[in-house]
Structure 1
Amino acid sequence: MPILTIIIPCYFNEANIPVTMAELLANEATLPADVRVEYVLVDDGSRDGTLRELLAAQARTPDRVRVVELAGNVGSYNAIVAGMAYATGDCTAIITADLQDPPELLAQMYSYWQQGFRLVIGNRQDREEKGVQKMLANIFHGLMKRFALPNIPSGGFDFVLFDRQVREQVLQMQERNSNVFYLMTWLGHAYVNIPYVRRKRQLGRSRWTIQKKVKLFIDSFLSFSFLPIRAISVAGLVLGSGSFLYGLYLMFLKLSGRTEPLGWTALMVVMLLVSAFQMTALGVIGEYVWRGLDAARNRPLYVIKQVHEVSK
């Protein structure tokens, strides 16, 4: 009997868990009768009643629910990797705890896996959210597709189903400060894309702050693109060429006996411009260097406090 593991990272999702688990359990009726579904629920250091609700969900379905309790908050992507480490399924799906991604797509995703696709992506074709949040998300995924990973679908995604082989390959990499979903596409396996409209959050308040979104963008972009470093090189060449030409111009004025420009304003503008560029360049280089240091220290991506195992 094939096993489908569903991983749900949870952070301050006390109100969502009962509703989400009820809908996921009801949705099992849309899956083939011969598939066994197990759930790996990861508490990412929540400080509300999330863990209590996760244990209550396990008590209702003790033979198919495993709760992984992390010692502290490590971010949803590292929490997902922790869930992968405790998944046993032939294929694995990742879905958010707030039901913004439709569970009814799981049956279609599973059918594509049966056809041989190692990766099936639920792609956000549109969002019910409006305003700045939607605009920033579109900009983020547009930049990633244009400059980092041209093979990813437009609109972004964090609702996926993938084969055991993909899971083991991601776990083997233990990539830090990265994007676990983009890592799956980076592996190069052929995938199928299922577009859908992402729902608006109905319960609770999202903890996905602007600060976390900015960090995700920086981590994702630096993990999969050398554009920032190359942009520094190009900008340096442009500034250097401009400085060389301006120097030739001043030498021409000097040798020809013409009046040299006083240049106080121009000198200050150039100095400020070059100084700003140097500081920006050092900041970008520092981001890469820090990531290399973080990888060299080889600290764990997460720390397990306790694993509440499936009842036999």
Structure 2
Amino acid sequence: MPKLSIIVPCYYNEANIPITGPELIQNEANFPADVSFEYVLVDDGSKDATWAALQSFRRQHPDKVTLVKLAGNVGSYNAIVAGMAAATGDCMAVITADLQDPPELLAQMYAHWQQGFKLVLANRADRDEALPQRAISNTFHWLMRRIALPGVPAGGFDMVFFDRQLCDEVVRMQERNGNVFYLLVWLGYPYVSIPYRRRRREIGKSRWTVSKKIKLFVDSLLAFSFFPVRAISVLGLLLGGAAALYGLFLMVLRLTGAPEPEGWTTLMLVLLLVSAFQMIALGIIGEYVWRGLDAARQRPMYVVEKLEKADTLSSLKVR
């Protein structure tokens, strides 16, 4: 009797939970009758009534619902890892609390898992969002495909289905400042991808600010690619080559007696260009060094304030 753990990170989702919870329960009808369910909902340091809404949902289904309350906001991906650590299923799925990703896909993903795929992705072929949001998201995932993880599905994916083995690997690594979805792909297991159209958010307001999106891009890029460091080396070589050519040019002018270029503007332009390159290079190297320091300190990715496990005996009942 396989057990499916559905992990739902929650952050300021008090209005979503009363709708998302029943929809997930209703979606069980799309699965084979022998599947048992566990819902692991993680409150990522919300300051509204999200925790109260989660407790209300658990009271309705004490045999299926596990709640994890984190002491502070650590970000969606760290909250997902906290949910993975608390989950007990044979297979796992991650879905957002705002239902932008359709729960109906979970049954298809489960069918692929039964066929032997340990990782199933639901990639966004399109999305019901404003043009600027689509452009930013598509650019981010295009860059990740080009320079970090070639071959990942276009459009990105926030809905994944994976085996217990992958869950244990990710929890064991405890990787900080990364992207847990790309980390699942990085593990190297064969996967299948299901395209879908992402819905518009109908309830509540997204907490993905511009600064969080920039941090996610930097974290994802540095976690899976050495391209930034390699780019520094290439640009350094190009600048060095340009300086050598310019030096030869000045030498020829001196030997031939031709007038040499003069001017404060030219000197300052070159100085500012080189200085800017040096500062950018130091910043990129500093990002890598800081991540190394953060990993070496071995501080926890999250702190669990409260953990309310599902009733183990009741959760073993078949629907």
* TM-score normalised by length of structure 1: 0.99
- Per the TM alignment, residue 258 of structure 1 is displaced from its structure 2 partner at its CA by 2.1
- Per the TM alignment, residue 5 of structure 1 is displaced from its structure 2 partner at its CA by 0.2
- Per the TM alignment, residue 253 of structure 1 is displaced from its structure 2 partner at its CA by 1.4
Q: Distance in 1 between matches of 2:59 and 2:298?
A: 36
Confirm whether residue 214 of structure 1 aligns to residue 210 of structure 2.
no
The one-letter code matched in structure 1 to 2:150 is: P
Query: In the alignment, what sits opposite 2:317?
Result: none
Q: Distance in 1 between matches of 2:84 and 2:62?
A: 19
- Per the TM alignment, residue 265 of structure 1 is displaced from its structure 2 partner at its CA by 1.8
Query: In the alignment, what sits opposite 1:267?
Result: 267
Query: In the alignment, what sits opposite 1:284?
Result: 284
- Per the TM alignment, residue 29 of structure 1 is displaced from its structure 2 partner at its CA by 0.5
- Per the TM alignment, residue 257 of structure 1 is displaced from its structure 2 partner at its CA by 2.0
- Per the TM alignment, residue 262 of structure 1 is displaced from its structure 2 partner at its CA by 1.2
- Per the TM alignment, residue 264 of structure 1 is displaced from its structure 2 partner at its CA by 2.3
Spell out the pairing of 1:120-199 with structure 2 (5 A cutoff).
120-199=120-199
Q: Distance in 2 between matches of 1:186 and 1:309?
A: 30
List gaps (5 residues or longer) in structure 1: none
The one-letter code matched in structure 1 to 2:109 is: M
Superposed CA deviations along residues 26-82 of structure 1, whole A, max 9, x for unmatched, are 010011000001100100000000000000000000011010010000000000000
Query: In the alignment, what sits opposite 2:247?
Result: 247
List gaps (5 residues or longer) in structure 2: 314-319
- Per the TM alignment, residue 228 of structure 1 is displaced from its structure 2 partner at its CA by 0.7
The one-letter code matched in structure 1 to 2:19 is: V
Query: In the alignment, what sits opposite 2:15?
Result: 15
- Per the TM alignment, residue 126 of structure 1 is displaced from its structure 2 partner at its CA by 0.4
Q: Distance in 1 between matches of 2:277 and 2:269?
A: 12
- Per the TM alignment, residue 256 of structure 1 is displaced from its structure 2 partner at its CA by 2.0
- Per the TM alignment, residue 156 of structure 1 is displaced from its structure 2 partner at its CA by 0.1
Q: Distance in 1 between matches of 2:130 and 2:92?
A: 31
Confirm whether residue 114 of structure 1 aligns to residue 117 of structure 2.
no
SS of corresponding position for 2:104 = helix
Q: Distance in 2 between matches of 1:104 and 1:262?
A: 70
- Per the TM alignment, residue 255 of structure 1 is displaced from its structure 2 partner at its CA by 2.1
Contact 1:69 / 1:305 at 8 angstroms: preserved in 2? yes
- Per the TM alignment, residue 288 of structure 1 is displaced from its structure 2 partner at its CA by 0.5
Query: In the alignment, what sits opposite 2:87?
Result: 87
Confirm whether residue 100 of structure 1 aligns to residue 100 of structure 2.
yes
Query: In the alignment, what sits opposite 1:67?
Result: 67
Q: Distance in 2 between matches of 1:239 and 1:116?
A: 51
The one-letter code matched in structure 2 to 1:165 is: Q
Structure 1 residues 248-257 or 231-240, which shifts more?
248-257
Contact 1:151 / 1:185 at 8 angstroms: preserved in 2? no
Runs of 4+ in 1 over 3 A off after TM superposition: none
Structure 1 residues 249-258 or 94-103, which shifts more?
249-258
The one-letter code matched in structure 1 to 2:273 is: L
- Per the TM alignment, residue 304 of structure 1 is displaced from its structure 2 partner at its CA by 0.5
The one-letter code matched in structure 2 to 1:19 is: I
SS of corresponding position for 1:192 = strand
Superposed CA deviations along residues 227-250 of structure 1, whole A, max 9, x for unmatched, are 111111111111111111111111
Confirm whether residue 202 of structure 1 aligns to residue 207 of structure 2.
no
Over the aligned positions, Cα root-mean-square deviation in angstroms equals 0.8
Contact 1:18 / 1:53 at 8 angstroms: preserved in 2? yes
The share of aligned pairs that are identical, in percent, is 65
Equivalent pairs, count: 312
Spell out the pairing of 1:217-232 with structure 2 (5 A cutoff).
217-232=217-232
The one-letter code matched in structure 2 to 1:145 is: R
* TM-score normalised by length of structure 2: 0.97
- Per the TM alignment, residue 140 of structure 1 is displaced from its structure 2 partner at its CA by 0.2
The one-letter code matched in structure 2 to 1:289 is: V
Confirm whether residue 43 of structure 1 aligns to residue 49 of structure 2.
no
Q: Distance in 1 between matches of 2:223 and 2:9?
A: 22
- Per the TM alignment, residue 221 of structure 1 is displaced from its structure 2 partner at its CA by 0.4
Q: Distance in 2 between matches of 1:111 and 1:256?
A: 78
- Per the TM alignment, residue 252 of structure 1 is displaced from its structure 2 partner at its CA by 1.6
The one-letter code matched in structure 2 to 1:68 is: V
